Amino acid sequence: MKTLLVIGYVWPEPKSSAAGSRMMQLLNGFQQAGYQIHYASPAEFSAHAEDLSDYGITSSSIELNSSSFDQFLLEQKPAAVMFDRFMMEEQFGWRVEKHCPDALRILDTEDLHCLRHARHQACKAGASIQKTLNISNEFLYSDLAKREIASILRCDLSLMISEAEMRLLTERFNVPSEIIHYIPFFRPIPNDSLWLDFEERQHFVSIGNFRHEPNWNAVRYLKENIWPAIRKKLPDAELHVYGAYPPKKATQLHNEKQGFLVKGWAEDAYEVVSNARVLLAPLRFGAGLKGKLVDAAECGTPAVTSSIGAEGMYQNHIPVLIEDTADAFAECAVSLYQDQQRWKTLQNECLPMIKERFDEAQHIQEFLNRLADQEQNLSQYRLTNFTGAMLRHHSMKSTQYMAQWIEAKNKL
């Protein structure tokens, strides 16, 4: 059986973040493609991390800037290596190139870090959400972008979670479409007969890992700019704020008199989203797809979000309201919370949206087909990606020498 080595930036935590959930989906997809998976990471193991052995996946801890990884590679002899985010490709890619030159090199971008960073900088500079959405080259063409795009070009295939980001890569960075593949979150078709009705639900909900800066920014934006207007018109309403790893500065926002309740970790995210009447996601910057909005649709929970939150998410069926100013966002939230007919209209869009955009069977089959094609025609794909070969020749050398220098320094 062929082996896939996954070099993880972190250990997967599907209950903590959409990134962790997506990683588990990808691992399942590779298993369906016939791969035996070995997951390795230099990160410290977390108490919330998934037990990969339950899924027939072996795991190892590895070291940064250590030649011990070279021997590890020779023992594993992987047919394919997937780097979890471009930082892992930068760190370990040259070693894979040296010791396993015929292995298929795959990059899971998660989301485009350079895009998220650029939008964050634009937001801090006072740009509107629309200007942040349509980011200018002034913010986009950063050193981080140069690193990330170089990593994408060095790999044989990069997995993209957002079609909007694929367009940005091909149109703004001239990345060949042949080396990128769209694979979003995917879900089994939910049973809508289990969804609670309008009258059975109460309160608003917000959810997202607090370590993810766009989520933390959104919580503060809710607290300072949106929730007071909602609470003024709905004095008995509550906002329940959930998310993994809440810092003290987040829990200090908890205020029962204001109905702003910071709940922290949610053992079952689907349960808390299913019981809420409306999900609020006023994201002001970010990239990729928003797992919280996919979860909301899966639970039949209408939402209010921003243009940033909605980017790449919807096509013909839209189970959310989209507003980009605090006042308009609050007004929509109040209206949706009170208007049963409008709420039901949006809920009826949830199931068709999941089927249209995130159908598990469709995306896994497309992924399996792409993997098979990439494996069978790897030499030809590499011949057509001269820029990637050039980057591996030059930039990998600098990364290699830096890693060897750090290793030598650590031995002193």
Q: Which of 151, 6, 26 is nearest to 76 (CA)?
A: 6
CATH architecture, domain defined by 3-186+360-410: 3-Layer(aba) Sandwich (3.40)
pLDDT band at residue 184 under the 50/70/90 scheme: very high
d(CA 155, CA 162): 18
Q: Is the pLDDT of residue 407 over 80?
A: no
* Mean pLDDT computed over every residue of the chain: 93
- Segment 37-57 mean pLDDT: 93
Q: Is the pLDDT of residue 59 over 70?
A: yes
pLDDT of the residue at 313: 96
- Segment 397-407 mean pLDDT: 63
pLDDT band at residue 210 under the 50/70/90 scheme: very high
d(CA 265, CA 175): 39
pLDDT band at residue 39 under the 50/70/90 scheme: very high
Detail the DSSP E strand segments found in 146-259. 157-160, 180-182, 204-207, 239-242
pLDDT band at residue 166 under the 50/70/90 scheme: very high
Question: In percent, how much of the chain has pLDDT > 70?
Answer: 95
pLDDT of the residue at 47: 84
Same fold, 3-186+360-410 and 192-357: yes
Residue ranges covered by each domain of the chain: 3-186+360-410, 192-357
Q: Is the pLDDT of residue 401 over 60?
A: no
Q: At the fourth CATH level, which superfamily is domain 192-357? A: Glycogen Phosphorylase B; (3.40.50.2000)
Q: Is the pLDDT of residue 329 over 80?
A: yes
Q: Which of 20-34, 121-135, 190-204, 379-393 has the lowest mean pLDDT?
A: 379-393
Q: Is the pLDDT of residue 406 over 80?
A: no
φ/ψ of 373, rounded to 5, equals -65, -40
pLDDT of the residue at 182: 96
Q: Is the pLDDT of residue 203 over 80?
A: yes
φ/ψ of 39, rounded to 5, equals -105, 125
- Segment 273-291 mean pLDDT: 97
- The answer for residues whose C-beta is within 8 angstroms of residue 57's C-beta and 6 or more apart is 27, 37, 38, 39
φ/ψ of 228, rounded to 5, equals -55, -40
Q: Is the pLDDT of residue 1 over 90?
A: no
- Segment 351-379 mean pLDDT: 93
Q: Is the pLDDT of residue 389 over 90?
A: no
pLDDT of the residue at 409: 63
pLDDT band at residue 57 under the 50/70/90 scheme: very high
Q: Which of 354, 348, 352, 268 is nearest to 302 (CA)?
A: 348
pLDDT of the residue at 186: 87
pLDDT band at residue 322 under the 50/70/90 scheme: very high
- Segment 87-115 mean pLDDT: 95
pLDDT of the residue at 157: 97
385 conformational bin, left if phi > 0, alpha if psi -120 to 50, beta if neither: beta
Question: In percent, how much of the chain has pLDDT > 90?
Answer: 87
- Segment 163-167 mean pLDDT: 97
* C-alpha separations of 191 from 3, 142, 201, 351, 402 in Å: 35, 45, 18, 9, 53
Q: Which of 10-19, 55-64, 134-143 has the lowest mean pLDDT?
A: 10-19
* C-alpha separations of 257 from 223, 253, 277 in Å: 13, 12, 20
pLDDT of the residue at 103: 96
Q: Is the pLDDT of residue 324 over 90?
A: yes
